[in-house]
């Protein structure tokens, strides 16, 4: 679970990601959105749905810094929703398939956003680390730079060459 932000603009974050991570984060973002909605009182009918029709859980990675960030206030939550759409759009631009219910999930989430407390968007948490791979960029002050370095190192460690088109 993570919300990588190697760039300041959600669309650029989506373009930066390779196919594997782009696809993965669409699901992870929906999970974080569901947790935020559950935290703020969403009913099962209001929650984003998986492809099998069951709602995403409201406890998954509940205390991860990125999940906490998403549920902190309406501005963070809406930014997460918009990022999810940018990742989805980039996934389809590259010829990806799947995530058929994502647009509807984001519509549900945006309608629910009024239930979150207002407030300015807060700083992104720096979770650019993977202990078992020996990667840790949490000490880099600029969160965008930290994620850029982290993702580049992850690509170097991938068994398969990363791709940016399906």
Task: Parse the chain into domains and list their residue ranges.
Answer: 10-122
Per-residue pLDDT, 148:
96
Write the DSSP symbol of residue 96. -
Under 8 Å between Cβ of 166 and 96 = yes
* The model's pTM: 0.95
Q: What is the pLDDT of residues 63-98, one digit of tens each?
A: 999 999 999 999 999 999 999 999 999 999 999 999
Under 8 Å between Cβ of 70 and 76 = yes
Distance CA 100, CA 52 (A): 11
């Amino acid at each position: 679970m993570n919300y990588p932000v190697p760039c300041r603009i959600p669309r650029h974050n989506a373009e930066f990601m390779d196919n594997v991570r782009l696809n993965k984060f669409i699901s992870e973002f929906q999970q974080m959105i569901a947790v935020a909605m559950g935290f703020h009182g969403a009913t099962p009918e209001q929650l984003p749905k998986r492809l099998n029709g069951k709602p995403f859980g409201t406890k998954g990675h509940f205390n991860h810094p990125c999940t906490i960030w998403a549920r902190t206030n309406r501005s963070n939550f809406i930014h997460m929703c918009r990022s999810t759409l940018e990742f989805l759009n980039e996934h389809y631009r590259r010829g990806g398939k799947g995530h058929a219910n994502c647009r509807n999930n984001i519509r549900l989430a945006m309608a629910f956003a009024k239930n979150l407390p207002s407030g300015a968007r807060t700083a992104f948490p720096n979770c650019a680390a993977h202990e078992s791979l020996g990667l840790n960029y949490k000490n880099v002050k600029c969160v965008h730079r930290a994620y850029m370095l982290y993702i580049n190192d992850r690509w170097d460690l991938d068994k398969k060459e990363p791709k940016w088109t399906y």
